[in-house]
Amino acid sequence: MRTQTVARKRGRERDSDAARTAILSAAREEFAAHGFSGARIDDIARAAGYNKALIFHYFGDKLGLYRTLMSHTKERMFGRFNALYEDVFRQEDDMVSADRVRYFTAECVRAVFDYYAAHPQIARIFAWEAAEGWRTYISCSPHAPSSWATRVLDLAQRWQAAGIARKDLDPVLLHTTLTSLPMFHLVSLPRYQTIYPDTDFTSPEALAHAREQLTELVLRGILTQPEEA
């Protein structure tokens, strides 16, 4: 009897996880297409294949659903950055090694680019947020700086003190520029295509080329000796 009870409980948990995953996937598409203000719970429920009452049960309301989606996004992005940080800077002395600074900076740009290229819906959601003044996103975010932002700011200041990064650059703007360039490029591809109709912007080869060009641009812009590592 106990075995059957445990099996039923696990079955319900799997069904719950599947429902949440389907709802979040549908929400990602809806928010990308219409932004937070234009998204409709009815349309999300229809696309997910579940009753909208289940959305309210799991997430509370549309804002609760949006907050969960943004939380998952931040966890994936910051998780990738933190893993990269720990992998590159295993020892304190390595934080101001020129080769490691070049590698870390390049891999951060590539990680941001790859994330948005693999999740174009998130890039479009952020474009909607930018158009609306980031009001909804800010309501989902803690007021204190993220641990990732604090670590990067500290790193940038160490790099400048060591003479590896240009001292005339604002370390805060250095960080914000690094994280903004890939997204802006990717959400602007349809516009670029109208300006240069004979240029390939969207094939895997074109995306790989853009990724490395942006990486090189950042390296040459912030490092005092930006030779290729």
Tell me: do 87 and 138 sit in the same domain: yes
- CA dist 206 and 196 (Å) reads 13
Which amino acid, 191? R
User: Is residue 82 situated within a structural domain?
Assistant: yes
Q: Are residues 108 and 84 in contact, defined by beta-carbon separation less than 8 angstroms?
A: yes
Summarised one tens digit per residue, pLDDT across range 24-39 is 999 999 999 999 999 9
Tell me: do 42 and 139 sit in the same domain: no
User: Is residue 229 situated within a structural domain?
Assistant: no
Tell me: do 169 and 115 sit in the same domain: yes
- CA dist 96 and 208 (Å) reads 29
In this predicted structure, what is the pLDDT of residue 74? Answer: 86
Name the band, by pLDDT with cuts 50, 70 and 90, for residue 8. Answer: very low
DSSP state at residue 49: T
In this predicted structure, what is the pLDDT of residue 148? Answer: 76
Q: Is 223 helix (H, G, I), strand (E, B) or coil?
A: strand
Tokens found for residue 211: 């990724």
In this predicted structure, what is the pLDDT of residue 92? Answer: 59
Tell me the CATH number at 202.
1.10.357
pTM (predicted TM-score): 0.85
Name the band, by pLDDT with cuts 50, 70 and 90, for residue 12. Answer: very low
Indicate the average pLDDT of the chain: 87
Structural domain boundaries, residue 48: 1-60
- CA dist 63 and 26 (Å) reads 15
- CA dist 66 and 134 (Å) reads 13
With tokens 């319900």, the residue in question is 12
Summarised one tens digit per residue, pLDDT across range 129-152 is 999 999 998 888 655 556 778 888
Quick one: how far is CA 225 from the chain centroid?
29
In this predicted structure, what is the pLDDT of residue 65? Answer: 96
Tell me: do 31 and 133 sit in the same domain: no
Tell me: do 207 and 158 sit in the same domain: yes
Could you tell me which residues are beta bridge partners of residue 165? Answer: 223
Tell me the CATH number at 9.
1.10.10.60
Name the band, by pLDDT with cuts 50, 70 and 90, for residue 9. Answer: very low
In this predicted structure, what is the pLDDT of residue 205? Answer: 97
Is pLDDT at 4 greater than 50 in this prediction?
Answer: no
- CA dist 207 and 196 (Å) reads 15
Summarised one tens digit per residue, pLDDT across range 83-95 is 888 887 776 556 6
